[in-house]
Amino acid sequence: MHFNDHSEFSIRNARIVTADQVFTGSLSVLRGEFEQITPGSGGLSGADWQGDYLLPGLVELHTDNVEKHLMPRPGVCWPVPSAILAHDAQVVSAGITTVLDAIAVGDLEPESLRTQTLHSCVKGFDEARDAGLLRAEHYLHLRLELAEENLTSLFAPLSRHPRLKLVSLMDHTPGQRQWTDLGAYRTQVAGRHGWCDEKIDEMLSIFSDRQQRYVEPNRKKIMQLCAENSTPIPLATHDDTTPEHVLEGVKEGVRISEFPTTLSAAQCAHQHGLGIVMGAPNSVRGRSHSGNVSAAELARHGLLDILSSDYVPASLLHGAFLLQESNYSLPQAIATVSRNPAQRIGLTDRGEIAVGLRADFLRVRLFQGIPVVLGAWKQGRQIA
């Protein structure tokens, strides 16, 4: 796929958001990197952005958005290549220039689409990337369901994948973590699957048995596989609810706490230096869909480091701008969707507007308070 590729160009009259300030100015790009950044109305010539925001390209650590394209309706399975390309186009249009595609390894529910499409999905991303068809830069985030009976055999072939940038340890067994409120769980699965109360009771018993049999053995085997990798893989916990959940992860070398469900868990994660990820849909909606702690509440306590679009790509930039209502400056808010996630997984060449870094950036304009992406560039090439 061919994009506009200018080895050198300039932009003027842009509202530039750097790591620590916002100013109107100009910048130049040379061979895919930021070459010069100049505050003020003078300086460089070039395309006039008429005061639109110039922001770093967004870095997404956790989106399972591709699943919606793989199964656009219940029971409808879409071809993997088509689903991947549609997902890629959607994330780029949302301003995401680097994305970790969160692919589930194992599932609680029987005959899960996730288990059926795991390896074909990873292969599909590899093939689309090798063919030059992906606009965003795609990496892997493998989400390991610890109660999955066959977890080790599913994960082992992927544990040394060259694009693997994050592994998260999940336990979605109802009755704890995300689904502490069984009433909320019952409502959710009744709507999604149409299960009656008797069916839900049957599945709850099966899930509980699987948790007791497989979670701890799987955790030990996964830690061993990750430790054997020549390149350390960043680890994340998922849906921490208690300080004990956090401390369990800390002992295992976890660096990221994804979607803590309570204030106390987030406080513990912060005290131990973990990067705290919250959902941008939570930020936009003002509450969690599971009834857990809101992103805004954690932000007000200074406990939100990274936003993730999770299941709505367009929520990422919108959610970041809304953090200003929780006393984040605009540079601090934008860092939650750019510099902070990039640095947590070792991508130190991107994530902010600074001389010498990759020219991954966006043109953004506010419309009725909502940030709209008018253009996206990756390494100086326009991709949207």
Angle between helices 197-227 and 182-193 (to 10 degrees): 100
Angle at 156 between CA 312 and CA 84, to 5 degrees: 30
Distance CA 29, CA 361 (A): 11
Q: What are 336's two structure tokens? A: 């939650």
What is the Cα–Cα distance from 88 to 109, expressed in whole angstroms? 27
**Angstrom distance (rounded) from CA 216 to CA 325:** 41
**Lookup result for tokens 């803590």:** 260
Dist CA 108 CA 127 (whole Å) = 29
2-11, 153-162, 300-309: least confident range: 2-11
Helix axes 263-271, 243-251, angle to 10 degrees: 30
- pLDDT of 2 reads 41
Q: What is the pLDDT of residues 162-203, one digit of tens each?
A: 999 999 998 877 656 666 666 666 666 665 666 777 777 777
Q: Which has the closest alpha carbon to 364: 111, 17, 82?
A: 17
Pick the CATH number of 58-347 from 3.40.640.10, 3.40.1350.10, 3.30.830.10, 3.20.20.140: 3.20.20.140
Grouping H, G, I as helix, E, B as strand and the rest as coil, residue 68 is helix
In the chain, pLDDT over 70 holds for what percent of residues?
Answer: 90
Q: Please give the average per-residue pLDDT across 92-113, as a whole number.
A: 87
Task: Name the pTM for this structure.
Answer: 0.91
CB atoms within 10 A of CB 205: 10
Q: What is the predicted pLDDT for the residue at 192?
A: 62
Q: What are the φ/ψ torsions at residue 47 (nearest 5 degrees)?
A: -65, 135
Q: Determine how β-strand 361-367 pairs with β-strand 53-56.
A: antiparallel
Q: What are the boundaries of each domain within the chain?
A: 1-57+350-384, 58-347
Q: Residue 194: its pLDDT value, please?
A: 65
Percent of the chain with pLDDT over 90: 72
Q: Higher model confidence: residue 209 or residue 11?
A: 11
pLDDT band at 125, cuts 50/70/90? Answer: very high
pLDDT at residue 3 in the model: 47
**Residue 210 and residue 249: Cα distance in Å, rounded?**
21
Burial tier of 372 (Cβ tally within 10 Å: 0-12, 13-18, 19+) = middle
Among residues 293, 350, 344, 285, which one has the least CA distance to residue 141? 344
DSSP for 289-328? Answer: TTS---HHHHHHTT---EEE-BT-TTHHHHHHHHGGGGT-
The rounded distance, in Å, linking the Cα atoms of 59 and 39 is: 25
pLDDT tens-digit readout, 347-363: 999 999 999 999 999 99
| pLDDT tens track for 221-264 | 998 888 887 788 899 999 999 999 999 999 999 999 999 999 99
Q: What is the mean pLDDT of residues 339-343?
A: 98
User: In the prediction, which pLDDT does 224 show?
Assistant: 87
Helix, strand or coil, per DSSP, at residue 341 = helix
Class of domain 1-57+350-384: mainly beta
Mean pLDDT over each residue of the chain, to the nearest integer: 90
pLDDT at position 111, please?
61
Contact in structure between 240 and 278 (CB atoms under 8 Å): no
> Is the pLDDT reported for residue 274 higher than 50?
yes
Beta strands in the chain (DSSP E): 4-5, 8-17, 22-30, 33-39, 47-48, 53-56, 58-63, 96-105, 137-145, 164-170, 235-238, 256-258, 275-279, 306-308, 361-367, 370-378, 381-382
